[in-house]
Amino acid sequence: MRLGFVGTGSIAAAMVEGLGGGAVLSPRGAEVAAALAARFPGVTVADSNQAVVDQCEMVVLSIRPQVAEEVVRALRFRESQKVLSLIAATQIATIRDWIGLDLPVIRAIPLPFVAERRCVTPIFPSDPDVAALFDRLGQTLECRTPDEFDLLAVGSALMGSYFGILDVAQSWLMQQGLPEAAARDYMSMLFANLGQVAEASDKSFATLREEHSTRGGLNEQVFRIFGEEGGPEALRKGLDTVLKRVRGP
């Protein structure tokens, strides 16, 4: 199916890079679209969002939720098309209402790692064409229910917090006198190695934490203080608020 992107932001660019080309891009994000067309074969930039819809069988809605309704309502779709929505916190029924047709609408949560073809991408509902697309970009995770999809969307909202923890740790080390480069290199490699341990293990995160925390040792001490100061509860509260936003009113 010919693939077209309405909206050419960072995730759309990552998908095109991972696919190695072969897509029609809208002029939204003109600089990014032009750069992709110059780098990859089979990538063209359409004159308008409507031109993308006219040329493609699968239309990817890669636009911010704040402007999504205005953009989508202005487009005219065909009965034979399939829509892949990357619009955060926007349910399928809402997107169909904007389109004005009962088209197949599949939601997905691709992350920047699709550019390197090593991303696990949740989709809902299951769809063979969309699953084949994201299998090319790493691995597809086909959710059984909308609730499963929403929960994984909440999980994906932890990326900023991950880098935030690294930033706090690096800043603290620098305040104690460690050079910036040494602090950054050490913390980034430490967390990267821990991620590899988690990926390669079938043990629970709680078990891995215990195995990496000597009783009475430094790792145990930091996590204990984290708990005593309300860290876990603050994290749960953040996840709760994101879930409410994802599920909508």
Q: For residue 3, how many other CB atoms are within 10 A of its CB?
A: 21
d(CA 43, CA 32): 12
Cα 34 to Cα 207: distance, rounded to the nearest angstrom: 48
Helix (H, G, I), strand (E, B) or coil at 126: coil
pTM, two decimal places: 0.94
Which H or E run contains 119? strand 119-124
- Look at residue 33 in the predicted model and tell me its pLDDT: 95
Q: Output the CA angle 65-69-75, nearest 5 degrees.
A: 125
Q: Is the peptide bond before 125 cis (omega within 30 degrees of 0)?
A: yes
- Sorted by where each starts, the structural domains of the chain and their CATH numbers stand as 3-155 (3.40.50.720), 159-247 (1.10.3730.10)
Nearest-angstrom CA–CA distance, 219 and 175: 20
DSSP notation for 26-63: -STTHHHHHHHHHHSTTEEE-SSHHHHHHH-SEEEE--
pLDDT in single tens digits along all 249 residues of the chain:
899 999 999 999 999 999 999 999 999 889 999 999 999 999 999 999 999 999 999 999 999 999 999 999 999 999 999 999 999 999 999 999 999 999 999 999 999 999 999 999 999 999 999 999 999 999 999 999 999 999 999 999 999 999 999 999 999 999 999 999 999 999 999 999 999 999 999 999 999 999 999 999 999 999 999 999 999 999 999 999 999 999 976
| 26 Cβ neighbours under 8 A, 6+ residues apart | 4, 5, 6, 7, 8, 33, 45, 46, 48, 49, 51, 52
**pLDDT at 29 (0 to 100):** 87
